[in-house]
């Protein structure tokens, strides 16, 4: 599928014009964009620490290492690289259980999707495209409102699960145990993930923790949006933050397609489509989408490579920990007992103290 998308993306492009656009981009603005994305990775690491707070504590340096190595793996191997980040952190931080790391990555993805959806939908209230196409803009606004409703429903569902998780998991345990076709290891893994998820979702019902995680999320996406704005300006486009956020929404849709190379092809096609809607020529739109993809992931690849060179990451151990069996057993690192929620409350109180 990835090859088909890449072929579709580039089949009618004049690649000499694409190269010309890239060669004439402002290198100083692109360097500043790379620096801004690097700062955004620091914000990501700090937010991950805030999301982990109900479960464990980790140093910012180890969080940054795991974040950059993980995103570098996503760029190189696609969505299969998603397992690297939650595995690297426990490898460097023994206090962090693998299940806690996996669960908080899931919550982080939810935060990111909701953040972009909210930005995209709210931005449409003021967005005025340079091309007068009221029909297309109306359809995009309807999609934006629909995504906003889905995001709100998702947040409501997660908060309700957090409030009722004790009874839900207690009822699910005997239900799964009575199903003979469900292996005991699967039952244990499912219950462990749900338990960790319930504890991690405390960030949605605790006002202080919610404010902290939302604040870090705002900084993450401000950094990404500002870096993307710098890329657009590097290509001589007179766009502002409104147009940048509009294109960012399209990019998110493309990034959800599970293709190798960090959604290569799909990211480029979706980003270019947003730029074409804004009246950018197709070769310039293609050049911008390619450079923007490299700017977004390039710093993570460089940092990850440096950590491997320095020996901060053991490649052979990482390969063994990201195997299918290791990932399957990672979520079974904590026993499920009838008193598990009482223990969870004691852990939460200890963290607060």
Is the pLDDT at 349 greater than 60? The verdict is no
Instruction: Please state the rounded mean pLDDT for residues 217-246.
Output: 94
Residues 47 and 203: their CA atoms lie apart, in Å, by: 11
Burial of 334: CB neighbours in 10 Å, binned 0-12, 13-18, 19+? middle
- Report the range of poorest mean pLDDT among 74-88, 170-184, 295-309, 320-334: 320-334
The pLDDT value recorded for residue 84 is 84
Q: At what angle do helices 27-52 and 207-234 cross, to 10 degrees?
A: 170
Whether 340 has a pLDDT exceeding 70, the answer reads: no
Sign, CA dihedral 115-120-121-124, equals positive
Using 50, 70 and 90 to split pLDDT, how confident is the model at 169?
confident
Q: Report pLDDT digits (tens) over 10-55.
A: 667 778 888 999 999 999 999 999 999 999 999 999 999 999 888 8
Token reading at 325 = 């069996």
Contact (Cβ atoms closer than 8 angstroms) between residue 257 and residue 9: no
Separation between Cα atoms, residue 313 and residue 300, nearest integer Å: 14
Task: Provide the 10 A C-beta neighbour count for residue 220.
Answer: 23
Grade residue 130 by pLDDT with cuts at 50, 70 and 90. Answer: low
Q: Both tokens of residue 223?
A: 């950094």
Q: How confident is the model at residue 99 (pLDDT cuts 50, 70, 90)?
A: confident
User: Does residue 143 surpass a pLDDT of 60?
Assistant: yes
* Per-residue b or e along 249-272, where b marks 16 or more CB atoms closer than 10 Å to that residue's CB: bbbbbbbebebbbbbbbbbbbbbb
Average pLDDT, the chain: 80
Q: Is 331 helix (H, G, I), strand (E, B) or coil?
A: coil
Q: What are 181-202's pLDDT values in tens digits?
A: 777 777 777 777 788 788 878 7
Helices 84-92 and 98-123, interaxial angle, to 10°? 130
Residues 6+ apart with CB under 8 A from 81: 70, 72, 73, 74, 75
By three-state DSSP, how is residue 132 classified? coil
Q: Which of 192-201, 226-235, 338-347 has the highest mean pLDDT?
A: 226-235
Q: Which of 130-139, 181-190, 210-219, 285-294 has the lowest mean pLDDT?
A: 130-139
Q: Kindly state the percentage of the chain with pLDDT values over 90.
A: 29
Residue 319 is encoded by which pair of tokens? 């390969």
Q: Single out the residue of 129, 76, 85 nearest to residue 104, CA to CA.
A: 85
What pLDDT is attached to residue 80? 63
On whether the CB atoms of residues 119 and 247 are closer than 8 A, the answer is no
H-type alpha helices, 124-180: 134-177
**What's the pLDDT at 228?**
96
Res 107 pLDDT > 90: no
Task: Round to the nearest angstrom and report the end-to-end CA distance of the chain.
Answer: 51
Contact 43, 221 (CB under 8 A): no
Where are the alpha helices (H) located in the chain, listed in sequence order?
2-10, 15-23, 27-52, 60-77, 84-92, 98-123, 134-177, 184-200, 202-205, 207-234, 241-255, 260-263, 266-277, 282-310, 315-321, 324-330, 340-352
Q: What is the mean pLDDT of residues 160-187?
A: 80
Q: Which residue has the tokens 């690192």?
A: 333
pLDDT at 260: 62
The confidence band for 209, taking pLDDT boundaries of 50, 70 and 90, is: confident
The closest alpha carbon to 37, from 314, 286, 216, 298, belongs to: 298
What number is the average pLDDT over the span 309-316?
69
Going by pLDDT thresholds of 50, 70 and 90, the confidence category of residue 249 is: confident
pTM: 0.79
Among the residue ranges 37-41, 68-72, 116-120, 194-198, the one predicted with the least confidence is: 194-198
In the block, residue with structure tokens 């151990």: 317
C-alpha distance from residue 223 to each of 32, 165, 256 (Å) = 11, 35, 20
pLDDT band at 177 (very low <50, low <70, confident <90, very high): confident
DSSP code per residue over 219-236: HHHHHHHHHHHHHHHHTT
Mean pLDDT of all residues in 106-124: 86
pLDDT, tens digit (0-9, with 9 covering 90-100), for 258-267: 666 666 678 8
């Amino acid at each position: 599928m990835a090859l088909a998308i890449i072929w579709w993306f580039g089949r009618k492009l004049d690649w000499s014009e694409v190269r010309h656009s890239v060669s004439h981009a402002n290198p100083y603005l692109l360097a500043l964009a790379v620096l801004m994305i690097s700062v955004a990775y620091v914000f990501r690491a700090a937010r991950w620490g805030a999301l982990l707070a109900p479960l464990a504590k980790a140093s910012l340096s180890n969080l940054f290492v795991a974040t950059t190595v993980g995103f570098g793996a996503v760029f190189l191997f696609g969505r299969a690289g998603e397992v690297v980040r939650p595995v690297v952190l426990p490898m460097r931080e023994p206090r962090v259980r693998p299940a806690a790391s996996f669960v908080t990555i899931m919550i982080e993805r939810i935060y990111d999707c909701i953040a972009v959806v909210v930005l995209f939908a709210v931005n449409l209230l003021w967005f005025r495209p340079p091309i007068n196409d009221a029909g297309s803009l109306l359809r995009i606004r309807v999609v934006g409102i629909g995504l906003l409703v889905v995001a709100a429903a998702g947040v409501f569902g997660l908060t309700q699960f957090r409030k009722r998780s004790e009874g839900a998991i207690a009822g699910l345990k005997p239900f799964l145990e009575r199903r003979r076709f469900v292996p005991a290891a699967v039952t244990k893994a499912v219950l462990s993930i749900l338990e960790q998820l319930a504890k991690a979702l405390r960030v949605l019902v605790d006002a202080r923790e919610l404010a902290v995680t939302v604040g870090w999320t705002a900084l993450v996406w401000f950094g990404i949006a500002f870096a993307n704005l710098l890329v657009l300006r590097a290509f001589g486009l007179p766009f502002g933050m409104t147009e940048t956020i509009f294109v960012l929404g399209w990019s998110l849709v493309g990034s959800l397609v599970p293709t190798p190379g960090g959604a290569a092809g799909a990211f480029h096609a979706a980003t270019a489509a947003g730029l074409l809607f804004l009246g950018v020529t197709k070769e310039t739109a293609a050049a911008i989408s390619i450079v923007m993809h490299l700017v977004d992931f390039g710093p993570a690849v460089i940092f990850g490579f440096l950590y491997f060179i320095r020996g901060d990451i053991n490649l052979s151990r990482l390969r063994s920990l990201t195997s299918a069996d290791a990932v399957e057993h990672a979520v079974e690192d904590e026993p499920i007992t009838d008193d598990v929620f009482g223990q969870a409350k004691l852990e939460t109180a200890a963290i607060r103290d």
